[in-house]
Amino acid sequence: MDGYTMIREILEKSTYTVAMCGTDMMKESGMQSMRAPEISYKVEREYGYSPEEIFSSVFYSNRTETFFKYYKKEMLEPALEPSDGFFALAELESRGLLQYAVTNNVYDLPERAGCKKVLNLHGTIFDNECPRCGKEYPMEYIRDAKKIPLCEKCQIPVRPKVMLFGEQVDNQLMTQAVNEISKADVLLLLGTNFNSGLCDPYVKYFEGSKMILINGQEHFMDKKAHVVLHEEVKTALPKIVWPNGRDA
């Protein structure tokens, strides 16, 4: 039995499956890593600071104009669209084979592909609000602002509700993630590994029977999973979901 068939059968027998969607799934959709040397060099040359410095709560507070210059160009202008892996994930949910997706994906890719039950641990670029009055603003309001996007009422900078460097995941979101993972009998790790910031704090709460890992990059901790596919999620998951092709 090949890995695709094995995973398909596990998912079909599962009563509660939770997927954890990692950074590599975002990269498969076209996201560039902030920590890639060529990206860091480009950002430092253009803005005078590293991506980690700019994309931080301290920088947002103290150098707000430069923060938004970077944020709008580097985070909002690239038009990331869900890869086939996310559409396959949504299909699993629609068939009742996926009960929840937990992600650190700020681009809302699972929901934009059709998933309904999604927990965004790091927030999304589509949620923005005034820190004083709480008025919410769409992503386009931030993107299209000529300089700093200000609240129309309070005239203070609107806050993107994404987790910045130096901040911690909200306790309520952490608790919700733990609750979902502890309920699962199958845990699907997609585009991540056991040592990642997404998995490491939460996998220890899994008490189910099967952990499935699909990721193009090998890692020495992969052996902790019951089934492993070293393949990009965007090609592997559709083969599992649509063995005869998506249009069959």
Question: How does pLDDT run across 64-104, given as a tens digit for each residue?
Answer: 999 999 999 999 987 789 999 999 999 999 999 999 999 99
Q: Residue 66 in contact with residue 47, Cβ under 8 Å? A: yes
- Is 67 inside a domain boundary? yes
The confidence band for 197, taking pLDDT boundaries of 50, 70 and 90, is very high
% residues pLDDT > 70 (the chain):
99
Residue type present at position 157:
P
pLDDT-derived band at 124, boundaries 50, 70, 90: very high
What does the pLDDT look like over 57-66, one tens digit per residue?
Answer: 999 999 999 9
Which residue range is the domain that position 41 belongs to? 32-77
pLDDT number for residue 196:
95
- Does residue 174 sit in the same domain as residue 145? no
pLDDT given at position 30: 86
pLDDT at 248: 61
Buried b (16+ CB within 10 A) or exposed e, 193-224: bbebebbeebbeebebebbbbbbbeebeebeb
Q: Per residue in 147-172, pLDDT tens?
A: 999 999 999 999 999 999 989 999 99
Does this model's pTM top 0.85? My answer is yes
Q: Are residues 209 and 93 in the same domain?
A: yes
Which pLDDT does position 1 carry in this prediction? 66
Residue 186 maps to a domain:
yes
On whether residue 248 sits in a domain, the answer given is no
First to last CA, the chain: 22
Same domain flag for 68 and 131: no
Cα gap 190→98, rounded to integer Å: 13
- The tokens for 185 are 């009998």
Provide the percentage of residues in the chain whose pLDDT is more than 90. 89
Domain identity same for 193 and 232 = yes
171 and 217: one domain?
yes
Residue-level pLDDT at 107: 93
Looking from the CA of 207 toward its CB, the CA atoms found within 13 Å total 6
Tell whether 187 and 136 lie within a shared domain: no
Residue 148: partners with Cβ closer than 8 Å, 6 or more residues away: 64, 65, 68, 157
How do residues 105-121 score in pLDDT, each as one tens digit? Answer: 899 999 999 999 999 99
Whether residues 66 and 92 fall in one domain: no
pLDDT at 36 over 80: no
Residues 19, 115, single domain; the answer is: yes
- pLDDT at position 105: 86
Q: Give the residue-averaged pLDDT of 113-131.
A: 97
Helix axis angle, 3-13 to 233-241, nearest 10°? 60
Counted domains in the chain: 3
Whether 63 maps to a domain, the answer reads yes
Q: What's the average model confidence in pLDDT over 18-25? A: 96
What secondary structure does DSSP assign to the chain, as a single string?
Answer: --HHHHHHHHHHH-SSEEEEE-HHHHHHTTPPPTTSHHHHHHHHHHHSS-HHHHSBHHHHHHSHHHHHHHIIIIIISS-----HHHHHHHHHHHTTS--EEEE--TT-HHHHHT-SSEEETTEEEEEEE-TTT--EE-HHHHHH-SSS-B-TTT-SB-EEEEPPBT----HHHHHHHHHHHHH-SEEEEES--TTSTTTTTTGGG--SSEEEEE-SS--TTGGGSSEEE-S-HHHHHHHHH-TT-TT-
